[in-house]
Amino acid sequence: MTTAPAPETTGDSSLVLAAREGDRAAFGGLYARYARMVHGILLARVPANDVDDLVQDVFLRALPRLCDLRDVARFGPWLAAITRNRANDYYRQTQAVAAVTESLPEDEAELPAPNTAPDQEATVILTFVRSLPDAYRETLILRLVEGMTGPEIAARTGMTPGSVRVNLHRGMQQLREKLSQASLGGAIQPDSRGRRNSAAQDKSALHRRNEP
């Protein structure tokens, strides 16, 4: 993927250079800018209960490695790569647990139970989002859960705006298909007027479930 013009990240270079010199406030500024991106990338890959701790770990890993970043303007894509690698390490460190999970029947290990209660809607939807291809699920979570705009996702991750649009469009298509095939609409409770929740309500539920 090529780097998109990123007006939102024009101040990253000065922050990175200052952080390299030990400026904690500068690194705090980078954290404020990129915490949502890191959280979203992790949420697309690891159990939700472990995401917050791993976000902190990613930034702790990144700080001493800032001197290795050749192009300070590429901090976002560089940090995204560290985040994905941390998610991979998470599973390498928990292979025994993963082996137990994989021994379950496929439908029990991966899919939510039917007739899900309303307060579990977000968990159900997140399960299906995480079953999508990597690029789609990551972009969808950054958009739907972290509330990042398309241009912001492009600027932070280094993707082109066109790639972000394609990932969002195709990801939503595949998510709707999965929800339809699983008859998820019947599992989500109707509102007070007897109507099923709309796609917009599904997005809202997913966002609320993962608010810090």
d(CA 84, CA 166): 21
* pTM for the predicted model, two decimal places: 0.73
Mean pLDDT over 137-142 rounds to 95
Of 66, 56, 68, 65, residue with least CA distance to 31: 56
Mean pLDDT over 54-64 rounds to 96
117 vs 34: which has the higher pLDDT: 34
Tell me, what's the pLDDT at 125? Answer: 81
Mean pLDDT over 98-108 rounds to 44
**Which of 24-33, 58-67, 98-107, 172-181 shows the lowest per-residue confidence on average (mean pLDDT)?**
98-107
d(CA 73, CA 9): 8
Tell me, what's the pLDDT at 103? Answer: 46
Q: Which helix (H) or strand (E) holds 71?
A: none
State pLDDT tens for residues 36-57: 999 999 999 999 999 999 999 9
Domains, in order of start, for the chain: 9-103 (1.10.1740.10), 104-212 (1.10.10.10)
Residue 211 has pLDDT above 60, yes or no: no
Tell me, what's the pLDDT at 150? Answer: 95
d(CA 15, CA 51): 25
- What are the angstrom distances between the C-alpha of 144 and each of 38, 86, 126, 140? 14, 22, 10, 6
Of 102, 105, 115, 120, residue with least CA distance to 182: 115
Residue 98 has pLDDT above 90, yes or no: no
Tell me, what's the pLDDT at 205? Answer: 57
Q: Which residue's entry shows tokens 């990253």?
A: 12
Strand, coil or helix: 36: helix
Residue 14 has pLDDT above 50, yes or no: yes
Query: What's the pLDDT band for 11 if we cut at 50, 70, 90?
Result: confident
State pLDDT tens for residues 165-193: 999 999 999 999 988 887 644 544 444 44
Of 13, 137, 144, 140, residue with least CA distance to 76: 13
d(CA 167, CA 45): 17
Spell 94-105 as b/e; 16+ CB within 10 A means b: eeeeeeeeeeee
Query: What's the pLDDT band for 206 if we cut at 50, 70, 90?
Result: low
d(CA 20, CA 24): 9
Mean pLDDT computed over every residue of the chain:
79
d(CA 4, CA 40): 20
Sign of CA dihedral 129, 134, 136, 140: positive
